[in-house]
Structure 1
């Protein structure tokens, strides 16, 4: 375990690289989700495979999460984006990096790419969306529900979660409740400049977006493709929001292929998908409206 002081916050960081000592071919930064998530979701799924494939893998716990510092305030999305920039500077990683973001980690990735476009080689997001007004509305509602349940009905809520989702999930929920009760995250995370479609259209790095086909966020796929000509979307059948932990092999293959096709920022064509992965690609209808086509 390594604790790195970056931008005034102590961040728990893990870094993996090729085991044979050969130079890494690119740096990938893994960003986890909000409240119940931590770098462990990557450490025990795709991170070792990324390192074995020759990548320099950086993952860390967001402020307030895991083993990182938990200040009482300072939880706007801009603060999370600033943490990423400060950490990369502290680690002396100066070249363009590949960002992989799960859920809220993808929102941070979009925010970082908008703020520092020259520092991003590509983005791969899993069950995620940019920080739009719609995102802010959903996140605010979610955090308000968590705060209510873990304040007024904590015991009943944890008993239900343990019975239906297991003891480990209940422990994560209890930690999430403490975070929401003891800090200003619920009030602050959406207190940032939200992105409009014009902002999103300004993204020039290639974007891979992976969703569970049964997820509420699957509708983001055609919207992102309509805004971003260099966006590839993938829908995984039989999955909802927990794609990373339920289908790590597919996520691994998709992201490694994506990074291999985009070693640096460039304006080349989008790559084809790995064999056997259902990919949704943009196709123009006679009326000019994007429609979804499942490609083999």
Structure 2
């Protein structure tokens, strides 16, 4: 375990070297989602297998989450992008990296790819989307709902979560409730700068987008293929939003194959035909 002080926040970091002891083929940075999520969602699913495939695996708790610092303010998307930039600099990670983002972590990955395209070899986003005006409205509603439920009726909400999803999830929800109540996250994230279609098109690196076929976000698949010149989308039958937790093997295999395909070959300079939609094998 490492605690990296960026000067703005202390970030809890875990890094797994290739298990064969050899030099890494590439570096993969895993970015988790909001509120109840943390680097643990990767540590106990795909991270060890990626290290076993010869990759340098970096994962960290975003500010306010897990074991990272919880400042009272500074939770906008630009802050999250600043943190990722400072993380790579602080760890002295060389060369372009492959970013894997789950849910809000994928939104952070998109933002970082726009800001620092020279630092990104490819993106793998799981149940995610770029920050748009519609995204901001959706996040505002979600965060306000959490704030209300965990402020007005916390005990009843936690009892329901424990009964339906177990005590561990209830403990995560209690921590998420404190984050929303005690910080400005519920205001900061929806107020983040958003992208129009022209700005999204500036993401030039290869993008693999994985969605549960039964998820509300599955409608992002054709949109991303239309906007991004080097995008492949995959719909996973029978799954909703919790793709990483419910199908870690399929996520692991998709990331390994994608990084293997793009770890040495730069993306073409000119747009090519958008990637196809299908199911992982």
Q: TM-score, normalised by structure 2?
A: 0.95
1:109 matches 2:117? no
Superposed, 1:118-267 pairs within 5 Å as: 118-264=118-264, 265-267=266-268
C-alpha distance in structure 2 between counterparts of 1:220 and 1:31, whole Å: 19
C-alpha distance in structure 2 between counterparts of 1:256 and 1:294, whole Å: 16
Contact 1:281 1:293 in 2 (8 A): no
Distance apart, 1:190 and its partner CA: 2.4
Distance apart, 1:269 and its partner CA: 11
Contact 1:209 1:233 in 2 (8 A): yes
Distance apart, 1:163 and its partner CA: 1.3
What is the Cα-based RMSD across aligned positions, in Å?
1.8
Contact 1:7 1:87 in 2 (8 A): no
Contact 2:81 2:108 in 1 (8 A): yes
C-alpha distance in structure 1 between counterparts of 2:191 and 2:269, whole Å: 36
Shift in alpha-carbon separation, 1:295–1:174, aligned structure 2, 3 A? closer
Where does structure 1 differ by over 6 angstroms across 4 or more consecutive aligned residues?
293-296
Contact 1:281 1:294 in 2 (8 A): no
In the other structure, the counterpart of 1:20 is: 20
C-alpha distance in structure 2 between counterparts of 1:75 and 1:167, whole Å: 27
- Equivalenced residue count is 278
Per-residue CA shift, 1:20-76, capped at 9, x if unaligned?
Answer: 321001000000000000000000000000001000000000000000000001111
In the other structure, the counterpart of 1:32 is: 32
Shift in alpha-carbon separation, 1:241–1:204, aligned structure 2, 3 A? same
Name the SS of the counterpart of 2:155 in structure 1: helix
1:90 matches 2:75? no
C-alpha distance in structure 2 between counterparts of 1:94 and 1:231, whole Å: 25
Contact 2:254 2:280 in 1 (8 A): no
Contact 1:212 1:241 in 2 (8 A): yes
Distance apart, 1:161 and its partner CA: 1.1
C-alpha distance in structure 2 between counterparts of 1:215 and 1:269, whole Å: 32
Per-residue CA shift, 1:214-258, capped at 9, x if unaligned?
Answer: 101000000000111210000111110100011000000111000
Name the SS of the counterpart of 1:179 in structure 2: helix
Distance apart, 1:189 and its partner CA: 1.3
Name the SS of the counterpart of 1:260 in structure 2: helix
Could you tell me which runs of 5 or more consecutive residues in structure 2 were left unpaired when the two chains were aligned. Answer: none
Name the SS of the counterpart of 1:75 in structure 2: coil
Q: TM-score, normalised by structure 1?
A: 0.90
Contact 2:233 2:278 in 1 (8 A): no
5-14 or 47-56: bigger deviation: 5-14
C-alpha distance in structure 1 between counterparts of 2:105 and 2:19, whole Å: 27
C-alpha distance in structure 2 between counterparts of 1:123 and 1:56, whole Å: 16
Name the SS of the counterpart of 2:139 in structure 1: helix
C-alpha distance in structure 2 between counterparts of 1:281 and 1:72, whole Å: 42
C-alpha distance in structure 2 between counterparts of 1:56 and 1:251, whole Å: 17
103-112 or 6-15: bigger deviation: 6-15
Contact 2:75 2:189 in 1 (8 A): yes
C-alpha distance in structure 2 between counterparts of 1:181 and 1:10, whole Å: 20
